[in-house]
Amino acid sequence: MWKRRIRALLGLGRLDACREQARVQNRDLKLLSTINGFGAKGLLRSTTHRATPSMDDPLQVEEDAAMAGVQVLTRYCGIEAPYWGLFVTHYHRLGVRQLQVCVQNDRDAAEVESWNYPEPMTVQVQRLRSDVPPDEGLRLLDPSCYRHDAPFTLLADCDEYLQPLRSDLSLRRWFELFPERAQCSVPWVMCPVLDPLHEQPRGFWGNHGKPIARSEWIEAVASDHHFQVPPVKPGGRILSTPMASMGWVLVHCLSRSFEDTLLRQLHTRFTCVKNTDRGEIVSRVRSGDLPIRLRVLAYFSLQERYLDVPVPSLRGIDLAAQTRLLQGCLGESDQQLAREVFEEYRRLLRRCLQRLPTYPATTFPDIVAALPSPHELRELYGA
């Protein structure tokens, strides 16, 4: 009797195990069916299928500029002056008519307000706290001072250029396709430039991006890469559609010229791993070394450029203004020495590139930690 009961229990156990195995396999098959090369397929699915403007919409489909209804929230400081016109012109061409420009002092505010802007364009200066780094100041900015000025807001720095890869889907129409989405993230296409007069119209995928959100839903700037917005439903996830698959990328010129990187090394107030040795450029290059930011630039400049994207022309940079700014803080001989050490480092780094972290499957801190110093490379290769 008890033997039959044991066999029955064992049979039920085996049946339960088979059912559990079948459940797991079925779950995994369902999960695989939701995945593609851009993310979950469910995030790409629109409930409305077509973005059809209402009859009283003043922006007709054929006249709807790519970024109509979008304002750009950005930051400005004096070292951006040589590149500001290029930034403004790019976004005006795409249909942006409102800029929210964050500054931390009176001089920068005056520079922004005195600029000769294309028409129509409205520029609103937003004052950040001057006693904190600019990234923290942006997080502390009250969004009520800009959320009512345009239906949508893009957060972008002056070296980031939103680029449509298609002509039939504006951002306004995209948000009509996905009425439940509060924000979307546009992925980086990295395009480091050393010489803006010799353009490099190709790039490679980055490991981050920047957000565009419905302005009225913005509660704060959560970080340099996200707005704080409410979830779709209480306790639910905050959904973000992969924008590359919809034909939108953000070209990130992490250097617009070699001189641009020198200026940032000398003046930046941002708190990140690239800036831990800010201001040490003279002592480092005179000893044959490089600051972290220039080592990182060498690493990124050596990456394979496998994406053919319409990179904005950097010929619009005010090279005279760039030269004046740099000469005011770094002598010409030190500039030349910095470039010589950089090119030597870049040449030696190319020889060991396969030993370094593979981008974008890594992080900035990991890249910085893995990059050898110029002295270590010279010892390694007997240079």
Question: Per residue in 264-304, pLDDT tens?
Answer: 988 876 555 555 666 678 889 999 999 999 999 999 999 99
Boundary of a domain, candidates 252, 270, 293: 252
Nearest residue to 315 (alpha-carbon basis) of 253, 248, 267, 266: 253
Are residues 188 and 306 located together in one domain of the fold?
A: no
pLDDT at 63: 55
Instruction: Count CB atoms within 10 A of the CB of residue 272.
Output: 15
Residue 324 structural domain = 258-381
| pLDDT higher than 60, residue 83 | yes
Are residues 177 and 270 located together in one domain of the fold?
A: no
Are residues 375 and 333 located together in one domain of the fold?
A: yes
**Number of residues written out for the chain:** 383
Are residues 220 and 262 located together in one domain of the fold?
A: no
Are residues 227 and 354 located together in one domain of the fold?
A: no
Give the range with max mean pLDDT: 28-42, 188-202, 273-287, 362-376.
362-376
**Sign of CA pseudo-dihedral 306, 361, 238, 141:** negative
Please answer whether residues 258 and 249 qualify as being in contact, where contact means their C-beta atoms are separated by less than 8 angstroms: no
Q: Judge whether 74 lies within some domain.
A: yes
b/e per residue 145-167 (b: at least 16 CB within 10 A) = ebbeebbbbbbbbbbbbbbbeee
Boundary of a domain, candidates 252, 287, 314: 252
Q: What is the CATH number of the domain that holds 105?
A: 3.90.550
pLDDT tens, position by position, 176-233: 988 888 999 999 999 999 999 887 779 999 999 999 999 999 999 999 999 999 875 5
C-alpha angle 44/146/268, rounded to 5°? 90
Q: Judge whether 43 lies within some domain.
A: no
Tokens 């005006």 correspond to what residue?
92
Round to whole Å and give the CA distance between 231 and 239: 8
Q: How many domains does the chain have?
A: 2
| pLDDT higher than 80, residue 16 | no
Amino acid in position 287: S
Torsion on CA atoms 349, 354, 357, 361, rounded to nearest 10: 130
Q: Judge whether 191 lies within some domain.
A: yes
Element (H, E) at 249: strand 248-252
Are residues 243 and 264 located together in one domain of the fold?
A: no
Are residues 263 and 242 located together in one domain of the fold?
A: no
Boundary of a domain, candidates 221, 252, 283: 252
Q: Judge whether 373 lies within some domain.
A: yes
The set of residues, in sequence order, having a beta carbon less than 8 Å from that of 58 and lying 6+ positions away, is: none
pLDDT at 132: 93
Nearest residue to 288 (alpha-carbon basis) of 369, 352, 349, 342: 342
Are residues 262 and 369 located together in one domain of the fold?
A: yes
Are residues 233 and 290 located together in one domain of the fold?
A: no
Could you tell me the pTM of the whole model? Answer: 0.85
